[in-house]
Amino acid sequence: QIQLVQSGPELKKPGESVKISCKASGYTFTDYAMHWVKQAPGKGLKWMGWINTYTGKPTYADDFKGRFVFSLEASASTANLQISNLKNEDTATYFCARFSTVAHYYVMDAWGQGASVTVSS
Amino acid sequence: EIVLTQSPTTMAASPGEKVTLNCLASSSVSYMNWYQQKSGASPKLWIYGTSNLASGVPNRFSGSGSGTSYSLTISSMEAEDVATYYCLQLSSYPPTFGGGTKLELK
């Protein structure tokens, strides 16, 4: 079955960096784009951008340009999110989500369990 | 960017009650997807293409709408339906989520 398994919780200080991984299984990794979604504590979902898993090209939402980097380890069916120069407002759970089509409709049909990042001095 | 406004923000329903959640788009979209997120869990695809139930979703759920107005309806509320529901539009770039409706049991 399709699974996205994300890395564990992280506790970081402001100014540090963090790398979150999302390992896919149960399908051909390069056939589906991977999207990233942020959820701050007690808040809603915010789309961060996506990465083309075939070409490796990332696309970032406006609010996530600069300190955020999407990357791949395609041989390991893994997508990564790296955040540099962490700020308190980066405290959140970050989800990876597979982008697919169902009956000609675009969907995010499989989600990772979420990776919690806490930024605190 | 299309802004999605969900209403109500929070609501409580009694078992057996009919529930309607709304999602209003700032511009017309072709279709709407809905996600269910239970506390501490990741979102699950619930309804896609406005009115199609995802695999495993009980048929007491339904979706409808067009243009700028979409809704998710539960014909008869059950305890397991307690969750936050988000609408997501993918027909216009960039993708945008609604703010969510938290559904509680009365």
Q: Work out the average pLDDT over A45-50.
A: 98
Res B53: pLDDT: 98
The answer to whether the Cβ–Cβ distance between A103 and B45 falls below 8 Å is: no
What is chain B's percent helix, strand, coil content, to nearest 5?
5, 50, 45
Q: How far is A101 from chain B (nearest CA, A)?
A: 10
Quickly tell me which residue has 């007690």 as its tokens: A42
Under DSSP, the state recorded for B32 is: -
Q: Work out the average pLDDT over A44-67.
A: 97
Q: How many CB pairs under 8 A join A and B?
A: 59
> Which tokens hold the place of A36?
């990233």
Under DSSP, the state recorded for B105 is: E
Res A74: pLDDT: 86
Q: Work out the average pLDDT over B81-93.
A: 97
Q: Work out the average pLDDT over A12-34.
A: 98
Contacts of B97 in chain A (CB under 8 A): 37, 44-47
Tell me phi and psi for residue B10, to 5 degrees. Answer: -140, 145
% of chain A residues with pLDDT over 70: 100
Q: At residue A33, does pLDDT exceed 90?
A: yes
Distance of CA B43 to the CA centre of its chain: 11
Q: How far is CA B21 from CA B11, B58, B63, B92, in A?
A: 9, 16, 9, 22
Contacts of A108 in chain B (CB under 8 A): 33, 35, 43, 45, 88, 90
Which residue of chain A comes nearest to B39, CA vs CA?
A42
B22-80 per-position pLDDT tens digit: 999 999 999 999 999 999 999 999 999 999 999 999 999 999 999 999 999 999 999 99
Q: Work out the average pLDDT over A36-55.
A: 98
Beta bridge partners of B92: none
Q: At residue A12, does pLDDT exceed 90?
A: yes
Q: At residue B12, does pLDDT exceed 90?
A: yes
Contacts of B35 in chain A (CB under 8 A): 45, 108
> Which tokens hold the place of B28?
């017309």
A69-115 per-position pLDDT tens digit: 999 998 999 999 999 999 999 999 999 999 999 999 999 999 999 99
